[in-house]
Each structure stands twice: as C-alpha cells, then as structure tokens.
Amino acid sequence: MEWTFPFEYKEYRFDKPLPETQVLMKIIDQTRPEFMYSLHNGGLCGAYWYISHDLPELYEGFHNSARKEDVPLDLGEPETPFATEFAPAIFSLNGQDEYYDYMEKHTGKPPTLDVGADSHTYASSKADCVTLITELPYFFDPRIEDQSDSDISRREALLTEADQSEAFFEMLEGLLGGIRSYISQDNPFFKLMNPSSPARKERNEAQRKWAMSDPEFEKPAKGSQVFSSFVVSKFYRGLSLGLAVRTCEFELGRLAKEGSNDQEAITKLKAVLQEGLRHLRQYTDELERELNYTVIPIQKLVRIQLECGLLVSNHISKNR
C-alpha cells in the first residue's frame, strides 16, 4: 500500500487510496507519530538507508550495524538519483514531488504517474515524524563496495546502462507483441513489467539527461558504480523477464479455468511461454557466471533492521 496515499502536485492528482491505506491514514491521524519505520529489503545490493531528517550522529551506528554482520555498504549508483547523500550509503528520503521535479527537469514535461504519495509524506503532514528505511540485500557481491577507479567514466557507465535497458525492453516487447490481444487487463504480472510503459521510457530518458548534465560524471566511475550499472541493473531487468513468463502462465491458467477451446490463443501463448523460458534460462545462466554472490542469513538482516530502528528511537526519546 506504499505509494497509495493521497497526493496532489502541479498537474497531477491521486485521490484513490486503498482500503488498507485508509486504515493506516486513520492510525497516523490518531497517533501523530514521531518515528515511523518502513521495513524494506533489496535483492542484489549492499546495505543502504533512507532517512527523512539529517541526523549525522546516527550514521556511524548505521554503518557499524551492517559491518558487524559482515554485510557490505552499497557504494554503487544511488537507487534515487535526486536524493541527497548525507553519508556513504545514507540518503535523504524523498517524495513524489521531488520525483516529479526531477523527471520534469530532465525530460521537459510532467512525468507519467499512476501512484500516490508514500507513508512518510502523509505522516509528515500530521506531525514532525522521522521516517527510516533500511534497505538490505538478500545476497551480495563484494564488488558493490569497490572504491577503486575503473577505466570508464561514470557518464559512460550510466549511458551504457540506459542503452542496455532500452535494448532489453525492446526484446521483451517483441517477445510479447504477438500475444498482446490475449493479455487481460487484470493480469498482475503484465502490469508490473509492461515493456512499453511510458513511465519506464521516461525514466530511461531522464537517466540519459541526468548523466549528461554534470561535469562530475566525466570522472572515472568507481568499481562499485560500474557493477551497479552493468550487473545489478541486469539482475533487476531479469525480474521483468520472469514476469513475462508468469504473464503467459496466468493467461493459460485463465483459459483453462474458463474451459476455453480457443486453440489459436492457447498455441500462441504456449509458444511465447517456451520462448520466454528459453530466454530466462540463458539470462540466469549469464548472471550465474558474472556474479560472485553470497546469500545472507535472515537473522543478520533482522538484527541490522532492529538495531537501526532502536538507534533512531533512542535518539528521538533523548532529544524531543
């Protein structure tokens, strides 16, 4: 239900919060929280944090909570390019208004949006609420913290990533193009990975403009930044390939439940499903060869999450 809170900014308005979101809105209205902890996890990354207030006295504690569990910091490209970096791997928590401005600045037009505000935006309208998000990996590769200079510029790495993303989603669009008429509007997997999504194309355009906008990007990229642009981004794109396979399975399952005899639809869906599985096997085999990853026991992640939450809670109790 995150990103489904009411939101209005410039030319955009979202006013259809989910029932679950409305329940949380009432709780926030009643409690006016001073601290809110939104529990997140990443996939392939290192540890990094978003915090709504700049509280420098906490940052060494955040770092130490990960180090003592042998979880590296994520020193690659930031997930949110317009966030302020308070300290290594610690960033400002930004809302949809900042995203809107970033996209408008780098594409020259309002962004395509279909979501609302986050929980912190709503909570901060009711109280001076500190919100923390601790993003932790399920598995990591040591290159995520490599601070040595690479042999390419940061700009080149970011532009190459944008090119690879565009080529990948063009491939995905070609894969699904012949079955688009058989994909139902309520297919949840297609909604999550629609390769022709205007919003995705706009984000890619904005990344290119962002990479060209600052002379700082002419400097050599760190090893961690190259790893983010070339390998981590490839991993996350692969999730869309998995969703494409699930899209076909969903429609075949729907036809089976309906007792459909539409042999043309069934034949085409099965053919695309097999082609998608072939692409997925090839893709995951490539990632297995390219990665040197370690799976992190869940207990370590729980301890880091808990310690960081307690650090913020203790700070607030002593300073308010």
Predicted structure pTM score: 0.91
Mean pLDDT of 177-182: 94
pLDDT for 228-270, tens place per residue?
999 999 999 999 999 999 999 999 999 999 999 999 999 999 9
Which amino acid does the sequence have at 245? Answer: V
What CA–CA distance (Å, rounded) separates 286 from 289?
5
Helix (H, G, I), strand (E, B) or coil at 136: coil
Q: Tokens 């205007």 appear where?
A: 198
Phi, psi of 127 (to 5 degrees): -165, 165
Pure H helices in the chain: 19-31, 59-67, 96-107, 119-124, 154-177, 188-193, 198-213, 223-227, 233-258, 263-290, 298-319
Which amino acid does the sequence have at 286? Answer: E
pLDDT for 130-139, tens place per residue?
999 999 999 9
Mean pLDDT of 27-50: 93
Token pair in block for residue 295: 């799976």
pLDDT for 56-95, tens place per residue?
999 999 999 999 999 999 999 999 999 999 999 999 999 9
What pLDDT sits at residue 40?
81
Token pair in block for residue 16: 């259809």
Shortest CA distance to 210 belongs to which of 50, 47, 52, 78?
A: 78
